[in-house]
Structure 1
Amino acid sequence: MIKIYAPASIGNIGVGFDILGAAIKPINGYFLGDLITIKLSQNFQLNNRGIFSNQLPINNQHNIVWKCWSKFCKKIKKNIPVSIILEKNLPIGSGLGSSACSIVATLVAINEIFNTPLNSKELLLLMGEVEGEISGGIHYDNVAPSYLGGIQLILEDYNIISQKIPHFKNWFWIIAWPGIKLSTAEARKILPNNYTRDICIKNSRYLASFIHASYTNQSNLAAKYMQEFIAEPYRSKLLPNFLKNKEKIKKLGAISCGISGSGPTIFAISENIKIAQKISLWLTKNYLQNDTGFVHICYIDTKGARKIG
């Protein structure tokens, strides 16, 4: 029996639409991500557990886990039955890479139980393929960090899909999911088909500046350029009072604030734990829409998917 954990992730991380993603872990040790327990069996079995298991489809063949197993078997041209327990700790449509967590944990677990017939590149390509079928287009900014850890720059070359870039170890990432759902497909539909030259140049300048600051260890410069002009101006309308909340969070001392993935989760960054706690408390009181919402203070998860126990 094998147990695999895959962490939640922040897609885009503000400045890198579809090409940056960060794996995160709460500082209190909470498993903010999905767990897969797998063993060989006489036939395929799937049991769903966890606080958000009620959001999963009743028909197992509509479940991401089954799709992963089916695609993996086709890939290796063998049909090997397994028994799987999915512990769903992330809400669907949260902007925290919920589907990516299930995909990564499942495919890593299946690859392990099948004696690793796929290498890491083949596995990541398969993860992107499954994610693409769910969200309407292949993108690796959630599956890559969840699988490999750290902050991943998506190169999407066939030989090099992504590479880890440096991150600031003194940054606290505060994430807040308000308790409502927002599908990636819906959040993509709201984006325009064309952008002006000025916007494209500005976005490129900010992204290049952030990457440069990350490699030269300039924390303030990196935070300053964590702004995004492709999606946030449009997606901000889908989130509860995003602009007002962003303004308040920065007044509390955040050095940056943005939308996690396609939302509705938002993130803020602080270099001071006391300020991070103040922001966390304020978000808990003002951004959460119901009792299912949550706020966590996180570090960057450098490990990615791994065995548990």
Structure 2
Amino acid sequence: MAVSVFAPASIGNVTVGFDVLGLAVQPVDGSLLGDVVSVEASDSDRLDVIGNFANKLPSEPSDNIVWHCLQLFNQALAEQGHAIQLVRLTLDKKMPVGSGLGSSACSVVAALEALNAFYDKPFSPEQMLAMMGQMEAQISGSLHYDNVAPCYFGGLQLMIADPAIITRTLPSFDDCYFVMAYPGIEVSTKAAREVLPNEYSKADAIAFGQTLSGFVDACYRQDKQQAFGHFKDVLAEPYRESLLPGFVEAKAHLQSAGCLAVGISGSGPTLFAVTDDKTLADNAATWLQKNYLSTELGFVHVCKADTQGARCL
């Protein structure tokens, strides 16, 4: 038996929801923006890594997060009394590392969901999400679900303080396009978190709460004007924009061109622009291709919300 699972890219934070909002996205042209992990029976545990960004990962399999996912999953199997099989895992690394697109989350979600499917799903979605968060925290240094939750469940996810719930699906704007531009440079999540202040003012805390609650309310009422009219990040973007060459200029251009909103995807360097006009989305993609990409590794995709999340291929 062999199982292959695809896990989609995601926008962490979605500007107004630092560490508490995440949106899964998929290119409208049908291409796979995310990672694929395959699991099959073997005579020994092994991990093979292929794909466009395989050379950006550690050369030793034991240093790869997918290998750590196997160890965690086997531990969970043993604790529940399940027999453990020897497997070969293959990671097709389609996602750039340190891109702000939830690259590590893609690998984690695809690996754990593929293992769960291989074993005929011994663990519930709630148990799976908890394991995914544990693995993501191992990479970033802090526990946050804003990439793994949308990557796993799809759609727009709101993180809940109750550990028994973790996340809820919000209504997303299905007619909106999300233009994703990865410039081809790397910004580590850990480094991007280190530039943030340890404390925020009362005014910033109030502004964050008002903006996030207004966005959530607008999602339920499908009010794009309210959702994107006050689309401002007071917690992270002011401190991170200096890490992204050309971001300030690109944001100004795209907003003046008519985009509903522009922000940093996750911790960057990927930029995302929102519009409900396909022609404007295509024009924005063309402009970003010429003006925001820094290396040949960069790319631009016109996307919509991915409502499926992780799925078997």
Q: CA deviation at 1:225?
A: 2.4
Residue 227 of structure 2, aligned match among 222, 225, 228: 222
Q: Does the Cα contact within 8 Å between 1:13 and 1:226 map onto a contact in 2?
A: no
Separation of aligned partners in 2, 1:53 and 1:296: 21
Q: After TM superposition, list the pairs within 5 Å mapping 1:1-309 onto structure 2.
A: 1-77=2-78, 79-308=84-313
Separation of aligned partners in 1, 2:90 and 2:274: 34
Separation of aligned partners in 1, 2:222 and 2:117: 37
1:180 partner letter: I
Q: CA deviation at 1:152?
A: 0.3
1:109-146 CA-partner distances (Å, limit 9, x unpaired):
00111221211000000000000010001110000000
Separation of aligned partners in 1, 2:85 and 2:190: 32
1:25 partner letter: Q
Separation of aligned partners in 2, 1:44 and 1:113: 14
Separation of aligned partners in 2, 1:92 and 1:201: 34
1:51-87 CA-partner distances (Å, limit 9, x unpaired):
1111111100000110000011111215432111111
Q: CA deviation at 1:244?
A: 1.5
Secondary structure at the counterpart of residue 304 of structure 1: coil
Q: Does the Cα contact within 8 Å between 1:207 and 1:225 map onto a contact in 2?
A: no
In structure 1, the gaps of 5 or more residues are none
Separation of aligned partners in 2, 1:243 and 1:53: 31
Moved more, 220-229 or 71-80: 71-80
Secondary structure at the counterpart of residue 153 of structure 1: strand
Separation of aligned partners in 2, 1:132 and 1:80: 26
Matched residues, number: 308
In structure 2, the gaps of 5 or more residues are none
Q: Does the Cα contact within 8 Å between 1:255 and 1:270 map onto a contact in 2?
A: yes
Q: CA deviation at 1:217?
A: 1.0
Secondary structure at the counterpart of residue 36 of structure 1: strand
1:305 partner letter: A
1:169-201 CA-partner distances (Å, limit 9, x unpaired):
110000100000000000000000111101110
RMSD: 0.8
Task: With the length of structure 2 as denominator, give the TM-score of the two structures.
Answer: 0.97
Q: CA deviation at 1:156?
A: 4.0
Separation of aligned partners in 1, 2:11 and 2:213: 19
1:209 partner letter: G
1:215-274 CA-partner distances (Å, limit 9, x unpaired):
011011101122110000000010012212110111111110000000000100011000
Separation of aligned partners in 2, 1:37 and 1:68: 13
Task: With the length of structure 1 as denominator, give the TM-score of the two structures.
Answer: 0.98
Separation of aligned partners in 2, 1:224 and 1:291: 34
Secondary structure at the counterpart of residue 181 of structure 1: coil
